[in-house]
Amino acid sequence: MKRKKNKPIRQLLSNIVTTLLFGLFITLAIFIIVTRIQGGTPQLFGNELKVVLSGSMEPTFQTGSIIAVKPYTDQELKKDDIITFVDESERVITHRIIEVVENNAHTMYQTKGDNNNGADRDLVRQENVVGIYSHFTIPYVGYLVHYMQSPLGSALLLIIPGVFLLGYGVYTMWSIILEMDRRTKELTKEVTEES
């Protein structure tokens, strides 16, 4: 009797695992495709996800974290806001505003990394600001996202869940074959005993 009660539970768990693996595979595939179409910047709920590649903002966020950045749309920025900007050498940097500088018709920002000894060398022009930190951080996941954006990482993140899904499918089919074999033996035994 116990065996029969466990079968529906085992079948339910099998269905849940299959659904989760398939969902993970589809989600990763869509995420990678959308990221490629958007030019390599993943987004979540309208925020761009940026990978922290240096320790200049520790302890606010750690190296290897993912941070969410709201696109900048000319809203007023103030001291202590954390902004993402493009510097003179086209690098994307996320630092804290330590001073707002009004220069004739232009607004500029003096920035500094929380972990740096001094302020950044150049002032940031308002038109170079691309985003504002939205106070959402996921530690260490940035390493995975950074790797995922490479061609090899993209391929592996599609292949690995596919292999797991295929392996689980083979396991499920093998379990079904063994169950059918067991039932056939039981029926054969019952027929032999009745004869």
168 occurs within a structural domain: yes
User: What pLDDT does residue 98 have?
Assistant: 93
More confident residue, 133 or 14: 133
Annotated catalytic residue 54: yes
Among 1, 176, 177, 146, CA closest to 63: 146
Same domain, 163 and 90: no
> How confident is the model over 108-148, as pLDDT tens digits?
899 999 989 999 998 898 889 998 998 888 887 766 666 66
9 occurs within a structural domain: yes
User: What pLDDT does residue 146 have?
Assistant: 66
User: What pLDDT does residue 34 have?
Assistant: 63
Among 54, 56, 65, 154, the active-site one is: 54
More confident residue, 49 or 38: 49
Same domain, 113 and 34: no
pTM over 0.85: no
